[in-house]
Structure 1
Amino acid sequence: MPFAVYVLALAVFAMGMSEFMLSGLVPDIAVELGVSIPASGSLISAFAVGMVVGAPVVAVLSLRWPRRAALLAFLVTFLVMHVVGAMTDSFTVLLVTRVVAALANAGFLAVGIAAAAGMVGANAKGRATAVLVGGVTIACVAGVPAGAYLGELWGWRSAFWAVAVLSAPPVVAILRSVPGAAPDRNAPSALHELRAMRSPRLIVVLVLGALVNGATFCSFAYLAPVVTEVAGLPSGWVPLALLLFGLGSFAGVTLGGRYADTNPTALLGLGAIGLLIGWLVFATTAGDPVAAFVCTVVQGTLSFAVGSTLISQALYAASGAPTLAGGFATAALNVGAAAGPALGGAAIGAGAGFRSPLLVSAALVAAALLVGGIALLSARTRSGVSTG
């Protein structure tokens, strides 16, 4: 695997930390900037919206840029936004920096996925994607506790400074390791890539990505009350649950990287069936602490094995639109990451209890299996008609 792919993963880690750390900083930001907790919480929503909207839009705008230049532009913008955010006393300015940082993050991921896939062999896109997603999984585990710890020691601004500092080495490394070719005037136009995006297979992959990621974050967002309220453990056990989920997710992207290029259908099919069974078992046995922790590891592994494989399948499904495929895959995953917790919260709010997000996750995976099954059956039917 080229060194440059690992450089991109380091930048993705810094960006992922920025996205996840805010959930532990909301109260302190609200107090210092004189806004309500819900208003401060809107910083998280603003980032999510920026990721969903920005991924395809910014990907289109950067199509004609050299990839190294695009990556540097997005990463430097992301870094500067965190410096401004760390220094401002205005909540409005902070909100704007979150939106712009999300747009830069989305653009970086879209171009980064395409760049990583382009630096490896034609049949190694899954491995390259897994390395990048590995940066997200580590941030998923480290971002919240690291942000909360820094906020406790030196205030919420220190977490923003930390992200800016983490973003600086990849800037230098990208300059030295990512090929800096001149823009290809014969590269596909935005219209050409958009036409390539009409592939039915790609649309199915994007829907599956949103559903599976929605299931993942529906339960991950409420893992703490599952541990404390359902399993009956003290709050001090929550970091262990988050760590186990993170270790599972890292194992999952490693598994996805190994098999996504050689046997993706089996990995997706068996993985999704395992996910459905796992969420149902988790919901049933969550009252047992040992079972809850085992399910946390297993579900983290399966969720990210399937999720990372779906990202690489988006690249294979739209080989004529690598940048837009990466952008839309990023958007689809973030739709799931935003919708999943909202659905889980709605179930809890309706009085279904803290096990209900696990059941909602099972329902989302069941929907993914239904969509995938219908698509597979339809493809086989069309193939049979064409050969008949």
Structure 2
Amino acid sequence: MTLDVVTLLDEIAGIGRDPVRGGYSRHVYEPAELELREWFRRTSAGLGLEVETDRNGNIWAHWGGGGGAIAIGSHLDSVPGGGAYDGPLGVASSLAAVSALMEEGFVPARPVTIAAFGEEEGSRFGIACLGSKLMTGALSGEAVAALTDEAGVTYAEACGADGIDPAGLGRDEERLASLAAFVELHVEQGIGLADLDSPVAVASSILAHGRWKLVFSGEGNHAGATRMRDRRDPVAAMAAAVLAAQRIASAHDGADSARATIGRLTPIPGGTNVIASRVDAWLDVRGDTDPQTRALLEEILAASHAAAEEHGCTLEVTEESYVSTVHFDSDLQQRLVGALGGVPVLATGAGHDAGILAAEIPTAMLFTRNPTGVSHSPYETATDDDCRAGARALTDIVRLLASETRG
């Protein structure tokens, strides 16, 4: 039986809906994401695939055994209030592709495996692509185990509750050695395909990007009893930093790509009639190259320090993650373009697990058209026809790559 990608997405459409933000909030090892994990295991097993969860909490569904596998897949978690396609589209498309090949009687010359990576968005523990970074050793198991969410739950506690031994977190040499290539399908997080006559594109690269925690500290006080000239308000300093980041990145976003966002902040103590004593904010900066991104960051941080000083506050900055510019395997990229009849090739500003694995194995990405370009939002969208076109493209790619005998 051939699985339809649209039907698969419909099956999970009720899981993790966010009644406050809209869209979906599916965070790693929380009930909604755990339910999606069970859906993936159940659907994969229904195809006769061998399902396993690795030492880092990533789930794999295998068609055939041994080394030299062609891996496909994506992730199941979301940002707070995210869309229906970011992540699950790639997993559902992979299930649809494998089922279509089975239905047509295709016998792979090498194994095919579908991956569902954990904590790609970083929404619960603050670091994106956590599952793939653990697998490749980009982050140590000890450091990740000690991470805490907003409720104070450690990653070790969260993964342990799902049966993952925290002592086993870390680089998975055997897993990496078993993979010949990884192809990730994802809804396009941008509007590049909207004006092109193609529902599918191949990725060329990912912008350099990182996250920094900014802690503005001032003096907590009474909102009614403290004169304006006597205030040391970290919220005011933070607000000036937000505007500075917007202004500076906009000035650089011409011939080069420049992105800067402060999308999450927490005032402490957070009372309506209280001047905050501290504000925690998170800065996301992206650019074409490492030097451009670092230069943009330094300019924003200089302006942020100046804003803190102007308002009688201090600023502490901690880098939480950074990924250099990723250029996907050029040979694999060209083979995908050729197999799909010369589809467009696009760069992306969004990070992906494929970008982490690119340092270890040949890696490529397919994008499915997003007609509005809106993502990380309840208003993210893709048409049913384009979703099916993406799944067919992935089917063609798996047929091509899995037809090759192992070297």
Q: TM-score range by the shorter chain?
A: under 0.3
Larger Rg: 2
Structure number with higher strand proportion? 2
- TM-score normalised to structure 1 length: 0.24
Q: TM-score, normalised by structure 2?
A: 0.23
